[in-house]
Amino acid sequence: MSHNIILNKQEIDHKIKRIAYQIFETFVDEESIIVAGIASNGYVFAEKIAAVLQSISPLEVILCEVTLDKQNLNSEIKTSLPKEAYQNKGIILVDDVLNSGSTLMYGVKHFLDVPLKKFKTAVLVDRNHKKYPIKVDFKGISLSTSSLEHVTVVFEKDNSYATLS
């Protein structure tokens, strides 16, 4: 099976920077925000966005790792922060690829247990195969793919890329 590179390292870096600026514009009136990444690749993507946000804005950026079982989305969702830490805060829930929307949907549901100031979502690749009415606020790229195709995002220390196979 062939792997077509849809984003190279330079393009991913550019998308991260653009998303960070969009997030800053959206949360410009806040003192701090929480960037919550869905483990594992979503969290790596969140770390990259947070690093750029810290370099371009005065916002205090708090990272949060969201752990959920993608095979059993009804299982308990764990976060690296207690619920009190994100109460009345602005949150961005981050994942690498949006396919059906189920992972983001269950991630959003978890955060709605406490009152929030603002809630947004961000993904690197939006595949447009949604089963749920989930909207992505910040995205790197939108792809119209067949359900048989697979998008893989790889974040390596010296190289990052996204492929379609």
- Give a three-class secondary structure readout of 126-165: ECCCCCCCCCCCEEEEECCCCCCCCEEEEECCCCEEEEEC
Highest averaged pLDDT of the listed ranges 7-16, 104-113, 133-142: 7-16
SS3 at position 70? coil
Backbone angles phi, psi at 77, to 5 degrees: -100, 130
Note if the pTM is more than 0.85: yes
pLDDT digits (tens, 9 = 90+) for 107-125: 998 898 899 999 999 999 9
